[in-house]
């Protein structure tokens, strides 16, 4: 029976792919050609215009707060059933334990202070990257007059307006956009990451931590090697600034490219093919969240270990 079901599923998938290959390009006639904009679009809420990436960020925050508030309600209330976790509490505890153990491997006993920040980085970036895959992101919004470029005509169906592929003077301002497709968000996260690395460095090594950047002692008493050490310190200072840029642009680049892909591919082949890219985006979203957390943890390990120290 299982084999029959498997064969049927494979046959249906092959059929859908064939259908997509034949009908897909024809579907372009009905699809609105994509318009990709790097800066976040703004839409009015009362007297102010709010960027749609902010709405995506708030949604990600609400999902996270809701999940963890619901998952930890028994623990916070001090109820005895919290001792035997069930349902959401199991999920929340499993996520925390996995991440905490992973980070303890990197940071050892230093990790306890840093866990809240690092785990928040991972979960926020993960949820912000994944919520953009919900249908309606970047496709539902307000229709406004197009200020520049080509607009589209609109068609009314009941109370709703739809953009059509015909030329016109209207454009769509989506209400929701993935937070990390707006460069401001990854850069803000990068600034927090690099700033907190310095804070943890000072906490671990005292004010002597800054001697890795400006090493006056080496310059005055170290001879030629001292001068070299001083110059290396200046390079270290520069590298802290490049970290902000690399952190920010890596996350932004990956997620923005994913957004472009999810806009371009359905406009070429509207059926079936986009599914593969949605799966890829799930993977990329998780990898980017993990990479951001791991890099912050690794840089913190470097900052708190002291120059030249290794275990």
Nearer to other proteins, 148 or 311 (CB): 311
**123 token code pair:** 């979960």
Distance CA 32, CA 270 (A): 11
Neighbours of 72 (CB within 10 A): 16
CB 223 within 8 A of CB 146: no
Q: Which stretch binds other proteins (CB under 8 A): 54-62, 82-90, 225-233, 282-290?
A: 282-290
- Which of 70, 244, 268, 282 binds other proteins (CB under 8 A)? It is 268
Nearest approach, Cβ of residue 25 and other proteins (Å): 6
Which residues contact residue 164 at a Cβ distance below 8 angstroms, ignoring those fewer than 6 apart?
A: 32, 152, 153, 154, 155
Nearest approach, Cβ of residue 52 and other proteins (Å): 22
Distance CA 57, CA 125 (A): 9
- DSSP codes, 36-55: --SSPPEEEETTEEEEHHHH
Q: Which stretch binds other proteins (CB under 8 A): 1-9, 78-86, 173-181, 246-254?
A: 246-254
Which residues contact residue 218 at a Cβ distance below 8 angstroms, ignoring those fewer than 6 apart?
A: 225, 226, 227, 229, 230, 233
Nearer to other proteins, 52 or 288 (CB): 288
> Of 149-178, which residues contact other proteins (CB under 8 A)?
none
Nearer to other proteins, 35 or 104 (CB): 104
Distance CA 293, CA 125 (A): 9
**248 token code pair:** 């920010």
Nearest approach, Cβ of residue 110 and other proteins (Å): 6
Q: How many residues bind other proteins (CB under 8 A)?
A: 46
Nearest approach, Cβ of residue 216 and other proteins (Å): 21
DSSP conformation class of 85:
-
> Of 84-123, which residues contact other proteins (CB under 8 A)?
104-111
246 near other proteins, judged by CB under 8 A: yes
202 near other proteins, judged by CB under 8 A: no
Cα separation values, 63 from 70, 132, 176, 278, Å: 11, 12, 14, 20
Nearer to other proteins, 143 or 268 (CB): 268
> Of 248-267, which residues contact other proteins (CB under 8 A)?
250, 253-254, 257, 260-261, 264-265
Angle at 75 between CA 73 and CA 76, to 5 degrees: 65
Nearest approach, Cβ of residue 287 and other proteins (Å): 7
Nearest approach, Cβ of residue 298 and other proteins (Å): 4
Residues in the chain: 311
> Of 4-63, which residues contact other proteins (CB under 8 A)?
24-25
**211 token code pair:** 């001697």
Nearer to other proteins, 89 or 215 (CB): 215
Residues forming contacts to other proteins in the complex (CB under 8 A) are 24-25, 104-111, 246, 250, 253-254, 257, 260-261, 264-265, 268-269, 273, 276-277, 280, 283-284, 287-288, 291-292, 294-295, 297-302, 305-311
């Amino acid at each position: 029976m299982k084999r029959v079901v498997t064969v049927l599923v494979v046959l249906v998938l092959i059929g859908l792919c064939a259908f997509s290959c034949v009908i897909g390009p024809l579907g372009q006639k009905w699809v609105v050609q994509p318009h990709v904009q790097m800066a976040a679009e703004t839409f009015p809420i009362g007297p102010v215009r709010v960027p749609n990436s902010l709405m995506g960020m708030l949604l990600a925050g609400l999902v996270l707060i809701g999940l963890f508030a619901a998952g930890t309600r028994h623990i916070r209330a001090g109820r005895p059933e919290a001792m035997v976790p069930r349902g959401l509490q199991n999920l929340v505890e499993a996520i925390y334990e996995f991440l905490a153990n992973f980070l303890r491997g990197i940071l050892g006993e230093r990790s306890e202070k840093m866990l809240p920040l690092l785990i928040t980085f991972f979960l926020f970036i993960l949820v912000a990257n994944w919520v953009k895959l919900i249908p309606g992101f970047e496709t539902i919004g307000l229709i406004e007059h197009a200020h520049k470029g080509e607009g589209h005509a609109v068609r009314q169906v009941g109370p709703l307006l739809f953009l059509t592929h015909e030329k016109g003077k209207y454009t769509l301002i989506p209400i929701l956009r993935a937070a990390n497709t707006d460069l401001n968000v990854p850069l803000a996260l990068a600034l927090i990451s690099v700033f907190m690395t310095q804070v943890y460095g000072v906490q671990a090594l005292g004010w002597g931590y800054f001697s890795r950047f400006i090493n006056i002692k080496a310059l005055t008493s170290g001879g030629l090697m001292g001068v070299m050490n001083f110059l290396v310190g200046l390079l270290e200072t520069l590298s802290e600034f490049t970290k902000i840029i690399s952190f920010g642009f890596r996350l932004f680049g990956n997620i923005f490219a994913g957004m472009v892909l999810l806009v371009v591919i359905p406009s070429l082949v509207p059926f079936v093919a986009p599914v593969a890219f949605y799966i890829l985006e799930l993977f990329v979203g998780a990898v980017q969240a993990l990479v951001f957390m791991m890099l912050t943890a690794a840089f913190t390990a470097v900052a708190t270990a002291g120059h030249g120290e290794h275990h």
